[in-house]
């Protein structure tokens, strides 16, 4: 039956493309209150499309943008089929700066086998692959191979503010799922489909040092009082040793080493460090000694300053001892690192090193662990088989350096592991002007999604 | 005759205050090109006021902000009277941060016997004391006791960029002066007028580190590329050792030690370190071990960060690896330290320590040595007598931690020593929000200036 579904998917490429363009034309910018009606319209469009696959839909209101919940009614799936939860988001990043777009962000345009629009890859285009696959199954087989719950949120780009409470409210309906499928990541490279089995966690701090009760003249007072900017640099400068390793006590203590087999697989991936550096305009890469660039991005933790603010920042010279110096510092965590322990050690490091004459304030803005999903579960094996069917190439197992907090919440609140099957490419310009999805990725993604539910059902 | 002048000065306090407020209302921020017209207007206002004292004025154009030159025409001073050069500046520091001002910086406001405005003490208020004294002499005596040249520059707060060439161009007109009078410093404390016999020098750098060709996602790229903000803090953090001593090679090598007699005099000055700390809202002072707070401010060199800028500085968290990080760093030099050698060692320190993966840019914005002036010349004795007349207390000899590069240039280019007679107070909030001048300092300053020219004339 899958073969017939795939044939029908391939025959209807033009229709899929037209349908996706409709959805991409709706400016569901969750960050912008002026687009609240558009965001609601994008949710409505998804419900309409899911009903076309025979699903029952419901809008879950939140104090912010609603989530869409869709379930397969009895009769639409074979009795006894596994219960699968698909998660995605229908909101998009703001399109600014508009003058950098070659075609308007909400007027989807095809150029060179690519579809350009805000949300083409992140995440409407990837969610659409699944919705189209469901429509195809309904059309050809009159049913969907699994019992499926679709959950689409409208606040992913603004921190998934209300998703935790949605998950808690719908726990009973969701928790019987055996796996979560997410398509909000990318393939390793064109022609190299991938499953992402790990994400780094994130701890983010605002650090502020305060000295005198006001900015002081650096001539009159310099040398006689602690300078918060000097002290902040001394403290932050001590976070790494000369080789680039983090010096916070116990920072590396509990890291779960990457299995040798996984590491060997990564070494075989076609990745050029010099191309990577050149693309960023860099003459040299720099990172923790003893690790490759992929390892540094995927499985090694970091401490990075995200922002520095102190004293005079205008043109020319102003001779001032700043009263305040502050920094934003993030840590990317890897499996084994406990955010609470990392926070405690980070804070202890600063409190122990802070000299007299300045006041230290530490504010933790977020703390979430890394996510490591099983790489040999039945769901992952189904996803690998599906990607091979969808794209004609056997997929690799990779990780990503960023964080998708919802993966942790599915584990924590529902007890379910996620499988990250991304259809995009690393050059899709996510969060940037000229976001795009290659049409090959779109059509391969629909094929993959169609095969995935069939394989999870054990067919 | 001086007595009549002083009586008239005391009678016209309200008028002096109103006149000064006019001048302080002009936002002559030399660092900010948007205030170029205001800066020119402040020069015009000074010329207008000096003409009111019978002086001939001329605007000396430079590629930057102009200088004002005013001379006593024949007939305005007694034949054979000594030639005195008065120097001051009409430009002011940028007023930022604006939200810390209790009243707008360019709307002069009186509170508790103080006048609050940017420039109230540094240096318009102090220059005004001399201009008012000249007006008083002209009004009461129809002449000024000395042959006087007034030179006001408009670039003191941005390193007196063009003053050297002004001095060289006007050398003939200026070099016959026997002494330079400068009022751009402060009294030792309320009720303790002072003459300043030493100033620290200033070297000021803009340091920029550049990494990738754009800001990067800290999750996707963190750990794999050098982070300019991390590296900048490492470099800046190494400028001091744990005790607070500067680590730049040869930094302390050639410092001329303070004579024991001078040091003993300083120890007798009424200065409470705990009051000093309390006044700044500090629980503890911090500085080079082995020196008192006065020594740290007056005769020990410093390295201070004046500003830090990098990455995201708004509210909350943004996960970004900054493409650029920059700092403004000043060094205060003491007698014996050669600015050119200090610059060379400073730059070598950074170039040697800068890691691969970031580009280093060092821009020297100014470099001037410390100044030591004679403490027993006739001009100094005249100034001591004038301060006693102006403020009713005998003055002390002190130093200041700030820099007035022009003092070196007067010696080097014109061969003339300067006498620094300051009317401000240490808590005037120079270069900081809520700059002020006590009205007692204003009125005492006008009296002192009136007496000073009379005493220099030998009366």
The pLDDT of residue A373 is 85
Q: How many residues does chain A have?
A: 459
SS3 content of chain B, % helix, strand, coil (to 5): 35, 25, 40
Decide if A222 and B297 are in contact by the 8 Å CB cutoff.
yes
A125 shares its domain with A174: yes
- Say which of A277, A317, A403 has its CB closest to residue B158: A317
Q: Can you name the residues that pair with A177 across neighbouring β-strands? A: none
Please list every residue in chain B whose beta carbon sits closer than 8 Å to the beta carbon of residue A213. Answer: 280-281
The residues, ordered by sequence, that sit 6+ positions from A396 with a Cβ below 8 Å of its Cβ are A188, A192, A193, A194, A195, A265, A269
Across B211-323, the runs of DSSP E, i.e. the strands, are 216-217, 302-311, 320-321
The DSSP 8-state label assigned to residue B332 in this structure reads E
B35 shares its domain with B69: yes
The pLDDT of residue A405 is 86
Residue to test with chain B: of A202, A214, A220, most B Cβ within 10 A: A220
- Say which of B158, B312, B401 has its CB closest to residue A306: B312
* pLDDT exceeds 90 at position A334: yes
Q: How confident is the model at residue A148 (pLDDT cuts 50, 70, 90)?
A: very high
B380 shares its domain with B364: no
A357 shares its domain with A375: no
Rg over alpha carbons for chain B, rounded to the nearest Å, is 23
Could you give the number of structural domains in chain B? 2
Count other C-beta atoms under 10 Å from residue B213's C-beta: 11
The pLDDT of residue A431 is 84
**B340/A250 Cα distance (integer angstroms):** 45
What are φ and ψ of residue A165, in 5° steps?
A: -70, -30
pLDDT tens by residue, A69-116: 999 999 999 999 999 999 999 999 989 889 989 999 999 999 999 999
Residue B45 lies in a domain: yes
**Antiparallel, parallel or unpaired: β B194-199 and B179-182:** unpaired
- Say which of B233, B276, B358 has its CB closest to residue A236: B233
Q: How confident is the model at residue A158 (pLDDT cuts 50, 70, 90)?
A: confident
Question: Which of B321, B351, B368 is the last residue before a domain boundary?
Answer: B368
3-state class (DSSP) for residue A221: coil
**B82/A342 Cα distance (integer angstroms):** 73
B329 shares its domain with B189: no
Q: Indicate if the alpha-carbon torsion angle A179, A182, A188, A190 is positive or negative.
A: positive
Instruction: List the CATH number of the domain containing A425.
Output: 3.40.630.10
Distance from the B442 Cα atom to the nearest Cα atom in chain A, whole angstroms: 21
* pLDDT exceeds 90 at position A305: yes
Decide if A223 and B300 are in contact by the 8 Å CB cutoff.
yes
Which chain A residue's Cα is nearest to B31? Answer: A316
| Residue A131 and residue A86 in contact, taking contact as beta carbons nearer than 8 Å | no
Torsion of CA B92, B93, B94, B98, to 10 degrees: -100
A238 shares its domain with A206: yes
Residue A14 lies in a domain: yes
* Residue B232, H or E segment: helix B228-237
Torsion of CA A390, A393, A396, A400, to 10 degrees: -60
Please list every residue in chain B whose beta carbon sits closer than 8 Å to the beta carbon of residue A330. Answer: 218, 222, 317, 319
**A108/A122 Cα distance (integer angstroms):** 14
B123 shares its domain with B235: no
* Residue B343, H or E segment: helix B339-353
Decide if B237 and A233 are in contact by the 8 Å CB cutoff.
yes
Decide if B310 and A307 are in contact by the 8 Å CB cutoff.
yes
* Residue A5, H or E segment: helix A2-11
Q: Which class for A71: exposed (0-12), middle (13-18), buried (19 or more C-beta within 10 A)?
A: buried
The pLDDT of residue A16 is 98
Residue A283 lies in a domain: no
Question: Which of B368, B385, B406 is the last residue before a domain boundary?
Answer: B368
Residue A329 lies in a domain: yes
Question: Which of A310, A338, A368 is the last residue before a domain boundary?
Answer: A368
| Residue B301 and residue B252 in contact, taking contact as beta carbons nearer than 8 Å | yes
| Percent share of chain A, pLDDT over 90 | 92
Average pLDDT over chain A, rounded to an integer: 96
Domain that holds residue A377: 2-199+370-456
Decide if B307 and A319 are in contact by the 8 Å CB cutoff.
no
The pLDDT of residue A379 is 96
Q: How confident is the model at residue A186 (pLDDT cuts 50, 70, 90)?
A: very high
Residue A278 lies in a domain: no
- Say which of A223, A293, A320 has its CB closest to residue B297: A223
Residue to test with chain A: of B308, B315, B359, B398, most A Cβ within 10 A: B308
Q: Which contacts of B171-174 are long-range, i.e. CB under 8 A and separated by 24 or more positions? A: B171/B413, B171/B414, B173/B69, B173/B71, B173/B149, B174/B85, B174/B149, B174/B414
Token pair of B221 as six digits? 């790229």
Decide if A221 and B433 are in contact by the 8 Å CB cutoff.
no
Distance from the A41 Cα atom to the nearest Cα atom in chain B, whole angstroms: 28
A249 shares its domain with A324: yes
**A32/A17 Cα distance (integer angstroms):** 27
SS3 content of chain A, % helix, strand, coil (to 5): 35, 25, 40
A187 shares its domain with A236: no
Distance from the B374 Cα atom to the nearest Cα atom in chain A, whole angstroms: 21
Angle, CA A266 vertex, CA A263 and CA A267 arms, to 5°: 90
3-state class (DSSP) for residue B289: coil
Decide if B202 and A219 are in contact by the 8 Å CB cutoff.
yes
- Say which of B213, B308, B365 has its CB closest to residue A317: B365
The pLDDT of residue A282 is 96
Low-confidence ranges of chain B (pLDDT < 50): none
Residue A61 lies in a domain: yes
Residue A120 lies in a domain: yes
What are φ and ψ of residue B68, in 5° steps?
A: -105, 130
Residue to test with chain A: of B101, B105, B307, B364, most A Cβ within 10 A: B307
Instruction: List the CATH number of the domain containing B316.
Output: 3.30.70.360
B187 shares its domain with B215: no
Residue B271 lies in a domain: no
A417 shares its domain with A324: no
Report which of A108, A134, A119, A163 is spatially closest to residue A54, judged by C-alpha positions: A134
The pLDDT of residue B287 is 94
Token pair of A389 as six digits? 């069917």
B123 prior amide bond cis, ω within 30: yes
**B232/B279 Cα distance (integer angstroms):** 32
- Say which of B218, B286, B402 has its CB closest to residue A332: B218
The pLDDT of residue A14 is 97
pTM, two decimals, is 0.83
Q: How confident is the model at residue A17 (pLDDT cuts 50, 70, 90)?
A: very high
A392 shares its domain with A382: yes
| Residue A439 and residue A401 in contact, taking contact as beta carbons nearer than 8 Å | no
């Amino acid at each position: 039956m899958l073969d017939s579904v795939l044939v029908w998917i391939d025959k209807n490429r033009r229709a899929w493309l037209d349908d996706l363009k409709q959805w991409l034309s709706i400016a569901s910018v969750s960050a912008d209150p002026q687009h609240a009606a558009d965001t609601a319209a994008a949710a409505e469009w998804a419900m309409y499309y899911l009903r076309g696959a025979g699903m029952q839909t419901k809008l879950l209101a939140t104090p912010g943008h609603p989530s869409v919940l869709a379930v397969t009614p009895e009769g639409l799936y074979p009795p006894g089929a596994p219960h699968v939860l698909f998660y995605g988001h229908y909101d998009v990043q703001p399109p600014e700066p508009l003058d950098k777009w070659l075609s308007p962000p909400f007027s989807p345009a095809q150029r060179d086998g690519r579809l350009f629009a805000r949300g083409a890859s992140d995440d409407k285009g990837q969610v659409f692959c699944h919705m189209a696959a469901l429509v195809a199954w309904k059309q050809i087989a009159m049913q969907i191979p699994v019992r499926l719950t679709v959950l689409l949120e409208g606040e992913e780009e603004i921190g998934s503010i209300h998703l935790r409470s949605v998950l808690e409210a719908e726990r009973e309906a969701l928790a019987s799922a055996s796996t979560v499928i997410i398509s909000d990541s990318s393939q390793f490279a064109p022609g190299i489909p991938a499953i992402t089995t790990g994400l780094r966690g994130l701890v983010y701090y605002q650090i502020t040092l305060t000295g005198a009760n006001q900015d002081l003249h650096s001539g009159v007072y310099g040398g006689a009082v602690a300078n918060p900017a000097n002290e902040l640099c001394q403290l932050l400068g001590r976070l790494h040793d000369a080789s680039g390793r983090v010096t916070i006590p116990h920072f590396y203590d509990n890291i779960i080493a990457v299995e040798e087999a996984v590491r060997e697989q990564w070494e075989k991936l076609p990745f050029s460090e010099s191309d990577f550096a050149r693309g960023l305009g860099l003459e040299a890469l720099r990172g923790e000694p003893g690790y490759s660039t992929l390892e540094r991005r995927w499985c090694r933790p970091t401490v990075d300053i995200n922002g520095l603010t102190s004293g005079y920042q205008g043109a020319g010279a102003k001779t001032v001892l700043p009263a305040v110096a502050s920094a934003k510092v993030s840590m990317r965590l890897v499996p084994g690192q406990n955010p609470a322990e990392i926070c405690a050690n980070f804070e202890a490091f600063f409190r122990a090193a802070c000299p007299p004459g300045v006041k230290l304030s530490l504010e933790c803005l977020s703390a979430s662990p890394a996510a490591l999903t099983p790489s040999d579960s039945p769901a992952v094996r189904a996803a690998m088989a599906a990607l091979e069917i969808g794209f004609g190439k056997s997929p690799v197992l990779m990780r990503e350096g960023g964080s998708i907090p919802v993966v942790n919440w599915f584990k924590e609140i529902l007890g379910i592991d996620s499988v990250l099957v991304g259809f995009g490419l690393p050059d899709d310009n996510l969060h940037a002007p000229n976001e795009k999805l290659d049409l090959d990725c779109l059509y391969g993604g629909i094929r993959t999604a169609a095969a995935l539910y069939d394989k999870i059902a054990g067919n």
